[in-house]
Amino acid sequence: MTIDTLSLGMRPAPSRKAARLWQGSAVPVLTVILVIVALWYAAAVAMNWQGVSDAFARAGEQRSTSEIFLATLEQERPMLPAPHQILVELKKTVIDTPITSRRSLLFHAWVTLSSTLLGFALGSLLGIVLAVLIVHVKTLERSLMPWIISSQTIPILAIAPIIIVVLGSIGITGLFPKAIISAYLCFFPITISMVKGLTSPDLLQRDLMRTYSASSAQVFWKLRLPASLSYLFAGLKVAIAISLVGAIVGELPTGAQAGLGARLLAGSYYGQTIQIWAALFAAAALASILVAAVGLAERLVNRRMGVRSA
């Protein structure tokens, strides 16, 4: 047996898989990450330079360029924190702090997550119901659609305080008003995609139902709804991310005792840029997890519905 046959024919499966991964997406993904991190450090040094050298000047200290360079990456309240500073903050607030503490980022993430999920559930329900109505009642399409679209042209920052104040005045506070803001934002993509999905069956698929003299309820359950699911999931993925944004925005005007929005607000009050960035990272991670969860649900549904895997 020669070396050749060894390396070609008898290569064990795991290393082949690793090799494929290496040739596939691993290299480009790692490259992009490295480029971003490098650019970030460069930007951190550039943006913090002035502040650091001013601080040294005020203290009357004479420092070398390399000392200033290192100091730009270790400031307590930098203009732009360096990535490792954010990682340290994340470790401190996520791993080293018990989850019940108000200093734990996970505690705040949970507060935001709960109103995100409630808002997402309400928004999905509203979005789907609106879509079903619009598809089945012709006049509603003309009478509701303009309102639905104009609802999204109002800046959420303008309407969020109104919702909080109005609901607060009738004694509803805490989770629910934030969830309403989430729902207000996230129903829209769901309605739009669901209307598209419910009207997606082609003429022959609809004619087929007509030849069976199927009732509109049967057409809905056996044709329109299953045909709409792939559209619905596209809408849900957008909606869950927006829903998180809505929950965070909803935490800003309350004066915000808890939640990622509160962390952002508190961070900006006290110039705690590292805390702001850590909260942003937590929000981004949360969004990724939520979108991935919707993606997982989509894959499970697709498998049941025999969708050809891409």
- Give the residue among 243, 254, 256, 255 at the shortest CA–CA distance from 283: 243
Q: Should residue 309 be labelled a site residue for another protein when binding is judged by CB under 8 A? A: no
Q: How far is the CB of 121 from another protein (least distance, A)?
A: 25
Which CB, 44 or 229, lies closer to another protein? Answer: 229
DSSP 79-141: SS--HHHHHHHHIIIIISS-TTSTT-HHHHHHHHHHHHHHHHHHHHHHHHHHHHHHHH-HHHH
Interactions with another protein, residue window 156-215 (CB under 8 A): 202, 204-205, 207-214
18, amino acid identity: A
Closest to another protein by CB, 227 or 285: 227
Please name which of 100, 70, 155, 108 lies closest in space to residue 263, comparing C-alpha atoms.
108
| Residue 249 and residue 116 in contact, taking contact as beta carbons nearer than 8 Å | no
Stretch that binds another protein, among 16-24, 132-140, 252-260, 302-310 (CB under 8 A): 302-310
Q: How far is the CB of 126 from another protein (least distance, A)?
A: 25
Residues in region 209-248 near another protein by CB under 8 A: 209-214, 218, 222-223, 226-227, 229
Count of residues of this chain found to bind another protein when the rule CB under 8 A is applied: 21
Specify the residue, 209 or 245, whose C-beta has the smaller distance to another protein: 209
Nearest CA to 136 out of 57, 202, 215 is that of: 215
Q: Which residues contact 255 (CB under 8 A, 6 or more apart)?
A: none
Residue 234 beta carbon to another protein: minimum distance, rounded to whole angstroms = 16
By CB under 8 A, tell whether 300 contacts another protein: no
User: Does position 308 bind another protein by CB under 8 A?
Assistant: yes
- The CB-of-222 to another protein minimum distance in angstroms stands at 7
Q: What are the Cα distances from residue 290, in Å, to 33, 156, 212, 273?
A: 22, 21, 41, 25
Report the residue number, 233 or 277, with the smaller CB distance to another protein.
233
Q: Which is nearer to another protein, 53 or 230 (CB)?
A: 230
Give the residue with the Cβ less far from another protein, 34 or 297: 297
* Distance set, CA 181 to CA 8, 15, 104, 178 (Å): 59, 50, 25, 5
25 vs 218 by CB, closer to another protein: 218
Give the span between the Cα atoms of 299 and 43, in whole angstroms: 40
DSSP structural state of residue 310: -
Chain residues binding another protein by CB under 8 A are 202, 204-205, 207-214, 218, 222-223, 226-227, 229, 305-308
